[in-house]
């Protein structure tokens, strides 16, 4: 686990005494959420599979004095998840916020879809959040509470063709969110699902100005909503939030 640079950022902000873990945080939405949480004073643990990209993200986030540590892990692998949470426990002694953001997309016509593509997406988008939620629950029950935020998708409610693994996984994540919220109720653990629409992440920037490009909103916009969910009073839960460009087709989409 690589140490960040402690500074007085931890002494200010709504999350100044909190520890947050963000998966899939080396880029895109995960990196944006980690930045927003650090901006509210949280100590942030970021994880992703690629150690080099993760370290670059950590160095970027610590420039403003935030406390950020990195731990490379494949969160779809049980042993690596256990190692990740053991490292969080050893360094901080607690975990107040888990953001299940790591995601993968693959698809195609159902009759041509490979089992490998299906398994890869389900493992990243559904198995991984389950493993991390289970590990977080074990810590949060002992310490008397915590919050879990799952990054879903509008595909959990409005599907498109050729997206069977992704849409199925996001439907499942919404189900996991509800069960987590229900089972966490007696332990002070809240859980909510943030469903983004089109977000202008790195892979979409090259085509952002083409005529056929759908409307997009910035990573910062979605991260701001995640931070809002994270900074709610502990007795308040935002079970579900849908955030998308106001011109994006959603109601009646196909």
Q: Is the pLDDT of residue 249 over 50?
A: yes
Helix 164-184 × helix 115-122 angle, to 10°: 30
Over residues 164-179, the pLDDT tens digits come to 999 999 999 999 999 9
What is the C-alpha separation between 81 and 136, in angstroms, rounded?
Answer: 10
H/E stretch holding 243 reads strand 240-243
**Could you tell me which residues come within 8 angstroms of residue 115 by beta carbon, excluding any fewer than 6 positions away?**
none
8-243 in CATH: which number? 3.40.50.720
Q: Is the pLDDT of residue 5 over 60?
A: no
- Domain borders along the chain are 8-243
Strand partners, 189: 146
Torsions phi, psi for 231 (to 5 deg)? -100, 10
What is the C-alpha separation between 46 and 24, in angstroms, rounded?
Answer: 8
| Sign (positive or negative) of CA dihedral 192, 215, 25, 68 | negative
Mean pLDDT rounded to a whole number for the chain: 91
H/E stretch holding 65 reads none
Cβ count within 10 A of residue 160: 12
- Residue of 244, 27, 55, 24 whose CA lies nearest to 155: 244
Over residues 41-71, the pLDDT tens digits come to 999 999 999 999 999 999 999 998 999 999 9
Q: Is the pLDDT of residue 203 over 60?
A: no
Q: Is the pLDDT of residue 6 over 70?
A: no
Percent of the chain with pLDDT strictly greater than 70 = 90
Question: What confidence score (pLDDT) does residue 248 get?
Answer: 86
**Residues catalogued as catalytic:** 166
Lay out the sheet containing 240-243: strands in order across.
68-70, 43-47, 19-23, 97-100, 146-151, 189-196, 240-243
What is the C-alpha separation between 37 and 66, in angstroms, rounded?
Answer: 10
- Taking residues 125-143, report their average pLDDT: 98
Question: What confidence score (pLDDT) does residue 250 get?
Answer: 80
Residue 176 and residue 150 in contact, taking contact as beta carbons nearer than 8 Å: yes
What is the C-alpha separation between 173 and 225, in angstroms, rounded?
Answer: 18
Q: Is the pLDDT of residue 211 over 80?
A: no
| Sign (positive or negative) of CA dihedral 176, 137, 225, 122 | negative
């Amino acid at each position: 686990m690589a140490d960040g640079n402690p500074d007085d950022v931890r002494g200010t902000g709504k999350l100044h005494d909190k520890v947050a873990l963000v998966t899939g945080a080396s880029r895109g939405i995960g990196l944006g959420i980690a930045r927003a949480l650090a901006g509210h004073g949280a100590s942030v643990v970021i994880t992703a599979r690629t150690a080099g990209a993760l370290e670059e993200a950590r160095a970027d986030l610590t420039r403003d004095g935030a406390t950020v540590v990195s731990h490379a892990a494949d969160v779809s692998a049980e042993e690596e998840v256990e190692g990740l949470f053991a490292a969080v426990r050893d360094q901080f002694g607690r975990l107040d916020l888990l953001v299940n953001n790591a995601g993968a997309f693959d698809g195609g016509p159902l009759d041509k879809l490979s089992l490998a593509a299906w398994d890869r997406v389900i493992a990243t988008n559904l198995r991984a959040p389950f493993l991390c939620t289970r590990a977080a629950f074990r810590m949060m029950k002992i310490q008397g509470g915590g919050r879990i935020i799952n990054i879903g998708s509008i595909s959990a409610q409005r599907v498109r063709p050729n997206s069977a693994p992704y849409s199925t996984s996001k439907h499942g994540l919404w189900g996991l969110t509800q069960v987590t919220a229900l089972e966490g109720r007696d332990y002070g653990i809240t859980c909510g699902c943030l469903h983004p629409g089109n977000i202008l992440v790195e892979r979409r920037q090259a085509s952002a100005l083409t005529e056929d490009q759908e409307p997009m909103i910035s990573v910062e916009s979605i991260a701001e909503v995640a931070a809002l969910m994270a900074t709610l009073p502990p007795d308040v839960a935002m079970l579900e939030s849908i955030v998308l460009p106001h011109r994006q087709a959603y109601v009646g989409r196909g």
